[in-house]
């Protein structure tokens, strides 16, 4: 598979994602600028964490207007996999590809630590290499990771099994401890924890590797490679 790693002004996890795909998973990846207008030739899109446009106005609110986002929306609507991590999750909600919003943490300050997560749904193209109910540990680093949606949307997320990960404890005030959700079609995932920072024992944990291995397995199944 060939992965597009988007780069916005202020992205700071793009190199980590590139390393996870190329050096750890031994797959092909290329950086794609926010000014690009096409994603032709790519099989999956990764939107990294960071502080696109300095988080001015509202996290992800300016990035959603970048030229590349028209191609990202079309890519997602074509059923191809799109993964947004941290600021990438915020961008996906701002772009309307995922429901809800990421509010400032309940503590009103930035949190940087490794937290325990529960795998709520292991039947998605991003989580099929995990066991449902398993506990994994991933780093978080955000000031606006407090997931919120209205009650009707929350009910739909539960009914459609769109909640992929939850925090094992309440770390930032997120509704139902939600840490990551998919769209209803299941081809777009947004998550606040950083799997790309936990792909090797050298980093202290390889628990995040399952996210990328799941995408690869789904790609093989889709393309019959």
* Residues annotated as part of the active site: 86, 194, 196
Q: How many CA atoms lie within 13 A of 22 on its CB side?
A: 13
Whole-angstrom Cα distance, residue 61 to residue 166? 24
Q: What is the CA radius of gyration of the chain?
A: 16
Pairing of strands 82-85, 44-47: parallel
- The DSSP letter of residue 125 is T
Tokens coding 90: 């915020």
Tokens coding 123: 């039947």
Tokens coding 168: 């094992």
First CA to last CA distance, the chain: 9
């Amino acid at each position: 598979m060939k992965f597009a790693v988007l780069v916005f002004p202020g992205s700071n996890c793009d190199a980590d994602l590139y390393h996870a795909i190329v050096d750890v998973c031994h797959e092909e990846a290329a950086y794609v600028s926010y000014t690009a207008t096409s994603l032709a030739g790519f099989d999956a899109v990764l939107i990294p964490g960071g502080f696109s446009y300095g988080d001015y106005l509202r996290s992800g609110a300016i990035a959603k207007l970048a030229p590349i986002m028209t191609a990202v929306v079309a890519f997602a609507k074509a059923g191809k996999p799109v993964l947004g991590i941290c600021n990438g999750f915020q961008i996906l909600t701002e772009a309307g590809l995922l429901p809800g919003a990421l509010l400032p943490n309940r503590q009103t300050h930035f949190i940087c630590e490794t937290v325990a997560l529960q795998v709520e749904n292991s039947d998605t193209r991003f989580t099929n290499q995990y066991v449902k109910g398993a506990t994994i540990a991933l780093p978080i680093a955000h000031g606006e990771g407090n997931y919120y949606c209205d009650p009707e949307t929350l009910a739909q997320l539960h009914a459609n099994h769109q909640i992929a990960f939850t925090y094992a404890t309440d770390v930032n005030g997120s509704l139902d401890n939600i840490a990551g959700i998919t769209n209803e079609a299941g081809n777009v995932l947004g998550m606040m924890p950083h799997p790309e920072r936990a792909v090797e024992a050298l980093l202290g944990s390889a628990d995040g590797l399952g996210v990328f291995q799941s995408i690869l397995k789904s790609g093989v199944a889709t393309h019959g490679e």
